[in-house]
Amino acid sequence: MSDLDDHLAHIPHAAAIGMTLVSRGKHSCVVRVPYAAHLVGDPDTGVIHGGVITALLDNASGMAVRSEPDDASEGRSMATLDLRIDYMRPAQPREDLIAEATCYRMTSNVAFVRAIAYHDDRTDPIASSVATFMLGTPTEPRT
Amino acid sequence: MRILAELREQGRAQDMQALVEHLPYARFLGITVDRKGNEITTILPFSDHLVGNTQLRALHGGVIGAFLEITSIVQLLFDTSCERLPKTIDISIDYLRSGKAVETYGRAIVTRHGRRVANVRTEIWQESRAAPVAASHGHFLLTPA
């Protein structure tokens, strides 16, 4: 479990967009992406690209599965089955993004995760997502 | 968006390569656009900073999502040449196989184009078009200029 804290540093794309772990709970985690110029989607407004929010929600959702205690996923690899994101309002320029993900159900094969992305007020989300993960997939790539 | 208006004034409204060069995040990912007649393909060359799983050297799920979203929006702009960047309302992604450490390609179809909302289906693949890495369908808000 302790290696979850520096887990993000070992994911090249997570490190490339500056993702850090803020906190984690029993079935949840909070992850932050600081505002940066290379993450901008619309140069006129300076707003962060939706794709960054996708990467953040995807990563936070996966980590929420990993942070389960009594972890049925412990030592098991997993693969994202699907991810649906609703964009509720535009992100604001020059503000950090935070994602909060909760694994609300885990069966023997599948984990179900909800997540939201926001700036500083979690009651006013920028985007929300639902994701499912298949547990226990092969760790070697299929040839 | 300034770049879209500039391209239109220069008669290059369909020059999507020029557009992605002006989007910092698309440039950060390394996305380019190849045009052959009235068809476009987006290209994502492999790069180490796109990796999500170092053991498998697989593309990050978020990179796959972002590439699907950018491919959808680029296709929408290519088809409609509107002057504002469409806003994503929602996008639903199916992850079909892991993205390997090779070049990835994307193509999209605008399945419905209304006055305010467009529906777009997108697929990305690597070695074989018949074996897509991921697929998405999304709704995009078209804001009048």
Q: C-alpha distances in angstroms, A109 versus A31, A72, B19, B145?
A: 25, 9, 42, 48
Q: C-alpha distances in angstroms, A72 versus A45, A56, A67, A100, B4?
A: 44, 24, 11, 21, 50
The sign of the CA dihedral A14, A17, A23, A26 is negative
Region of poorest pLDDT, from A136-140, B70-74, B111-115: A136-140
C-alpha A122/C-alpha A100 separation (Å) is 9
The answer to whether residue A142 is domain-embedded is no
Percentage of residues in chain A with pLDDT exceeding 70?
Answer: 85
pLDDT at B36 over 50: yes
- What's the whole-number mean pLDDT along residues B43-68? 94
Tokens of B2: 């300034």
Q: How many CB atoms lie under 10 A from the CB of residue A3?
A: 8
Token pair 């993450």: residue: A39
The answer to whether residue A96 is domain-embedded is yes
Q: Please answer whether residues A126 and A134 qualify as being in contact, where contact means their C-beta atoms are separated by less than 8 angstroms.
A: no
Q: How confident is the model at residue A71 (pLDDT cuts 50, 70, 90)?
A: low
- pLDDT per residue as tens digits for the range B120-136: 999 999 999 999 999 99
Domain ranges of chain B: 2-141
Token pair 């599965």: residue: A65
- What's the whole-number mean pLDDT along residues A8-17? 91
Nearest CA in chain A to B134: A82
Higher pLDDT, residue B65 or B84? B65
pLDDT at B72 over 50: yes
State the pTM of this model.
0.91
Q: Residue A100 belongs to what domain range?
A: 2-135
Q: Best mutation site among B7, B93, B97, B104 for testing chain A: the one with the most A CBs within 10 Å?
A: B93
Please judge whether A56 and B29 are an interchain contact, meaning their C-beta atoms are less than 8 angstroms apart.
Answer: no
- pLDDT per residue as tens digits for the range A53-68: 999 999 999 999 986 5
CA A97 to chain centre: 11
Q: How confident is the model at residue B71 (pLDDT cuts 50, 70, 90)?
A: very high
Nearest beta carbon to residue B49 from set A13, A79, A83 = A13
Q: How confident is the model at residue A136 (pLDDT cuts 50, 70, 90)?
A: confident
Residue A79 backbone dihedrals phi, psi, to 5 degrees: -130, 140
Residue B17 backbone dihedrals phi, psi, to 5 degrees: -65, -45
Nearest CA in chain B to A82: B94
Q: How confident is the model at residue B108 (pLDDT cuts 50, 70, 90)?
A: very high
Q: Which CATH superfamily, name and number, covers B2-141?
A: Hotdog Thioesterase (3.10.129.10)
Please judge whether A13 and B56 are an interchain contact, meaning their C-beta atoms are less than 8 angstroms apart.
Answer: no
- What's the whole-number mean pLDDT along residues B52-62? 91
ipTM metric: 0.88
Full 3-state SS string of A21-33: EEEECCCEEEEEE
The answer to whether residue A140 is domain-embedded is no
Nearest CA in chain B to A48: B25
Burial A79-108 (b: 16+ CB within 10 A, else e): bbbbbbbbbeeebeeeeebbbbbbbeebee
Nearest CA in chain B to A60: B62
> Residue B83: which residues within 8 A CB-CB, separation 6 or more?
B1, B4, B5, B8, B145
pLDDT, residue B100, reads 96
pLDDT, residue A1, reads 43
What total of structural domains would you count in chain A?
A: 1
pLDDT, residue B45, reads 98
Q: Best mutation site among A3, A54, A77, A130 for testing chain B: the one with the most B CBs within 10 Å?
A: A54
Q: How confident is the model at residue A4 (pLDDT cuts 50, 70, 90)?
A: low
pLDDT at B50 over 60: yes
Task: Report the C-alpha dihedral over residues B61, B65, B66, B67, rounded to 10 degrees.
Answer: 100
pLDDT, residue B4, reads 87
The whole-angstrom distance between A10's CA and the closest CA on chain B is 8
- pLDDT per residue as tens digits for the range A87-130: 999 899 999 999 999 999 999 899 999 999 999 999 999 999 99
- State the CATH number of the domain containing residue A91: 3.10.129.10
